Structure 1
Amino acid sequence: MDLKRNQITLAQLMADPKAKAVLQRRFGPYLKHPMAKAAGSLTLAQLMEMGAVYLPQKTIQETVRELSAL
């Protein structure tokens, strides 16, 4: 999948069934939060930066690699 140099948005990722499955498997509880819809316009780069506060860097890197491989 072309992540557009991490400028792809969460909404664009969620619109792709395979990418959505990856994100739901890894971050299901976060995606159910009411703020997740509001985060749709955030880019992957922004989400990675914000997620680094809560998630191990390894988890973020593995997720990006998995999305890139789609």
Structure 2
Amino acid sequence: MDLKHNQITVGQLLSDPRSRSVLQKKLPAVLKHPLTGAANTVTLEQLLAFAGAYLPQKKIDEVMEALQKA
């Protein structure tokens, strides 16, 4: 999947069935979070900067690899 140099938005990721499936599989709690809908305009780059405080780098790398393959 073209992640547009990490400038793809969360909304675009969630609207694509392939990337949504990756997120459901790798980060199921994220899709259930009440602020997920409000994050539609957040870029993947912004999300990665935020996620680094909460997720181990290994998990982030795993998700990014799966998104790139989707």
TM-score (norm 2): 0.94
Runs of 4+ in 1 over 3 A off after TM superposition: none
Q: Distance in 2 between matches of 1:55 and 1:39?
A: 18
- Residue 67 of structure 1 is matched in structure 2 by 67
Quick one: percent identity of the two aligned structures?
Answer: 47
Unmatched tracts of structure 1, length 5 or more: none
Equivalent runs, 1:1-70 vs 2, <5 Å: 1-70=1-70
Could you tell me which runs of 5 or more consecutive residues in structure 2 were left unpaired when the two chains were aligned.
Answer: none
When normalised by structure 1's length, the TM-score is: 0.94
Describe the superposition over 1:15-65 as per-residue Cα deviations: whole angstroms up to 9, x where unpaired. Answer: 110110100111111211111100111111111110011000111111111
